[in-house]
């Protein structure tokens, strides 16, 4: 039984039967609200009210895990990471459309159609510039999502597409004929989301995506659905591979799909002549930059399924449809300057400053040149006339240099030997094209490095936010991470919005960070390739900075799960004098540069744990640290060798796997008890009664 409270009312001591009914009701309501928000853009409740309903459902599922429905709205957050994608065979194949690039070619298509169908009706749709996907439903529930792949076989990305809010996990209605079917469409990234992600990646020193389509493709290939969810993809459906009995036209199928909860291809229009089709294509060519998503043309399809049957298919695609592609917008301009920008992780990127030109709706004055290989490929120099366009209508990109025989060209561009921001000598790894600055105190990297160092799950310095970091760096109070530990209250009080209480809280949080585990400190240094997982492996293998810093590259690379990239990156970090000075200052400040076990014996030595779901009072990193510091290990998959599965709210498939294998499942309370008393007193394995455990 459960005592669950929410703004929508109070449920006290539910029986299992009532819990099942309540879970079904909440699931229906949340699916409907998702549909109204993401498909219709007409929400009828506030975000707060939606969150309260979701929390209510999560609480019920936590108490009654065996009642969790496969189409539960809580599954939107994404399940456990995958090891690889399985293969899906498309039946019928997902073939591509023929492309046309002129209105004359559209008229030729119309002539070919009319040789078979005397008076065709065309359904014209925007051609979304995304990634083609298929969605399969059984018993009105989403069961499989896949990429197009080579048209015959694609990747099974069900878990990733299940995180997309506009993909219905369960149909809004159980309409006859739609219990089992497949629909195809385009997954895409909205422009605003693309810009947000690229800004974050740029600040983190990561390569930016060239356009929303590439960003979408890269996102759908991620093996962790939770990371996919964070990128907020969207999806339009536009066709079905098989006709439905009793529905004679494509546009009627789309209307039915819309009623069932799908976000269908926008701005679809029925037109009876090719002149009307061309006029409609022209109208969107003029306004496509006003849309919140990218389109690269229009799709023209014969609407009646019977007409499509008569027209048939070729080996490459249908004879009843064609894609009209818009020509890219280009302009000529001159390169006025080429300079080098330094990212958060020290990546040095060449950038061209050009004479202002208007392309795809905005003025362009700069274009990234990505890396020196691209500079050499283009053979671009200051003073050159170049052709520039917007890749994916977003990112300014130089296509080529225009020969100008009347003027002598300037000298070739060379990568600077030293970092333009701090003077540290740059280096390039053998298998990469990027040059980097490894100085952790480089002013161009400092703001982002400070934010990373103080972030939750790293050194947990509350109050060290973006605005404060900007003030600390710009006033010169902090020129290195180590300067954080020398801050005084009197200095902080002179900063904007910094009173005595805020200053005291910040200094207390900085003081508390001195005793964070060595694993977090190593991660916090921001050494390239050393994330929290690699940091944990290194700390487990070497135990202290003293041992790690003198270990040869091959010894570090030989640690299981580490590899050469991590080892070489760590040695590049050690080769810089400023980094050594930073480490010594942090050591003098009292930070922990060695692993400290939880006092005396290691009670969990040899015990293997798997974490799944969300713990109410612990982050996954905190739980991992508690296990590792007591000698245990955290593994990613459940096997018969697993000792414990720690299950929080909304667990994934690992929970089911543990039940199958008879592995002991414990909730957060039992986990804390186990941590406090050690593994010697581990509870006797027993099957969980109905409703027990963490969601």
> Which of 16, 18, 55, 127 is an active site residue?
127
Closest to 164 in 3D by CA, of 186, 138, 191: 186
Q: Is 608 a catalytic residue?
A: no
Instruction: Quote the Cα angle for 149-153-154, to 5°.
Output: 45
Cα–Cα distance, 502 to 459 (Å, whole number) = 18
Query: CB of 314 within 8 A of CB of 151?
Result: no
- The one-character DSSP state at 318 is B
Tokens of 339: 């300079």
- Of 143, 137, 140, the C-alpha closest to 157 is 143
| Cα-Cα-Cα-Cα dihedral sign, residues 253, 255, 256, 262 | positive
Helices (H), 290-363: 305-311
Q: Judge residue 597's burial from the number of C-beta atoms within 10 Å of its C-beta, 0-12 exposed, 13-18 middle, 19 or more buried.
A: middle
Q: Which helix (H) or strand (E) holds 5?
A: strand 3-6
- For 373-392, give one letter per residue: b (16+ CB within 10 A) or e: ebbeebebbeebbbebbbbb
Residue 659 preceded by cis peptide, ω within 30:
no
Query: How many angstroms separate the CA atoms of 142 and 189, rounded?
Result: 21
On whether the CB atoms of residues 311 and 330 are closer than 8 A, the answer is no
Query: Which residue carries 């970091």 as its tokens?
Result: 469
Nearest to 321, CA basis, from 241, 386, 377: 241
Active site positions, annotated: 127
């Amino acid at each position: 039984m459960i005592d669950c409270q929410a703004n929508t009312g109070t449920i006290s001591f539910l029986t299992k039967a009532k819990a099942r009914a309540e879970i079904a009701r909440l699931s229906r309501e949340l699916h409907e609200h998702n549909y109204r928000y993401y498909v219709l853009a007409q929400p009828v409740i506030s975000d707060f009210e939606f969150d309260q309903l979701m929390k209510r459902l999560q609480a019920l599922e936590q108490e009654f895990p065996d009642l969790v429905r496969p189409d539960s709205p809580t599954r939107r957050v994404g399940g456990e990471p995958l090891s690889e994608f399985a293969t899906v065979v498309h039946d019928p194949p997902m073939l591509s459309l023929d492309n046309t690039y002129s209105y004359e070619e559209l008229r030729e298509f119309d002539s070919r159609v009319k040789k078979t169908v005397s008076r065709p009706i065309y359904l014209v749709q925007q051609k979304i510039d995304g990634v083609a996907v298929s969605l399969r439903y059984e018993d009105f529930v989403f069961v499989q999502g896949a990429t197009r792949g080579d048209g015959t076989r694609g990747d099974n990305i069900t878990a990733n597409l299940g995180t997309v809010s506009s993909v219905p996990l369960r149909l809004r209605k159980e309409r006859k004929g739609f219990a089992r079917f497949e629909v195809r469409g385009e997954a895409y990234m909205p422009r605003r989301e693309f810009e947000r992600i690229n800004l974050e990646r740029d600040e983190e020193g990561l390569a930016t995506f060239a356009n929303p389509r590439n960003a979408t493709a890269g996102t759908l290939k991620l093996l962790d659905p939770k990371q996919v969810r964070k990128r907020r993809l969207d999806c339009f459906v536009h066709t079905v591979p098989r006709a439905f009995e009793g529905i004679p036209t494509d546009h009627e199928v789309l209307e039915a799909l819309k009623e069932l909860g799908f976000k269908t291809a926008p701005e679809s229009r029925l037109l009876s002549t090719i002149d009307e089709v061309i006029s409609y294509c022209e109208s969107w060519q003029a306004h496509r930059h006003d849309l919140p998503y990218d389109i690269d043309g229009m799709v023209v399809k014969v609407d009646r399924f019977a007409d499509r049957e008569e027209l048939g298919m070729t080996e490459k695609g249908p004879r009843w449809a064609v894609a009209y592609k818009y020509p890219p917008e280009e302009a000529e301009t001159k390169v006025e300057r080429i300079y080098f920008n330094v990212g958060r992780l020290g990546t040095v990127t060449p950038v061209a400053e050009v004479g202002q030109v208007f392309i795809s709706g905005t003025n362009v004055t700069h274009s990234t040149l990505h890396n020196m290989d691209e500079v050499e490929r283009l053979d671009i120099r200051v003073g050159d006339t170049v052709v520039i366009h917007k890749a994916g209508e977003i990112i300014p990109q130089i296509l080529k240099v225009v020969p100008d025989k009347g003027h002598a060209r300037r000298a070739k561009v060379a990568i600077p030997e030293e970092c333009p921001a701090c003077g540290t000598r740059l280096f390039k790894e053998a298998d990469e094209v990027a040059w980097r600055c490894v100085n952790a105190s480089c002013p161009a990297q400092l703001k982002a490095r400070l934010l990373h160092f103080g972030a939750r799950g790293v050194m947990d310095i509350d109050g060290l936010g973006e605005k404060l970091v900007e003030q600390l760096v710009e006033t010169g109070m902090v020129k290195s991470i180590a300067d954080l530990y020398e801050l005084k209250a009197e200095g902080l009080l002179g900063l904007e919005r910094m009173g005595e209480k805020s200053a005291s809280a910040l200094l207390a949080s900085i003081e508390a960070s001195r005793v964070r585990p060595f694993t977090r400190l190593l991660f916090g240094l921001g050494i390239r390739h050393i994330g929290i997982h690699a940091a944990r492996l290194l700390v487990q293998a070497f135990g202290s900075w003293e041992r790690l810093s003198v270990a040869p590259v091959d010894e570090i690379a030989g640690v299981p799960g580490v590899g050469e990239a991590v080892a070489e990156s760590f040695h590049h970090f050690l080769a810089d004098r400023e980094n050594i000075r930073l480490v010594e200052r942090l050591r003098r400040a009292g930070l922990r540069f060695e692993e400290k076990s939880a006092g005396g014996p290691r009670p969990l030595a040899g015990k293997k744990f798997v974490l799944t779901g969300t713990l109410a009072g612990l982050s996954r990193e905190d739980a991992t640290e508690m296990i590792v510091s007591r000698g245990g290990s955290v593994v990613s998959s459940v096997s018969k060798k697993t000792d414990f599965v720690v299950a929080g709210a909304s667990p994934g498939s690992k929970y089911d796997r543990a039940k199958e294998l008879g592995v002991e499942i414990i909730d957060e309370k039992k986990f804390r008890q186990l941590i406090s008393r050690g593994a010697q007193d581990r509870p006797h394995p027993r099957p969980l009664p109905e409703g027990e455990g963490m969601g």
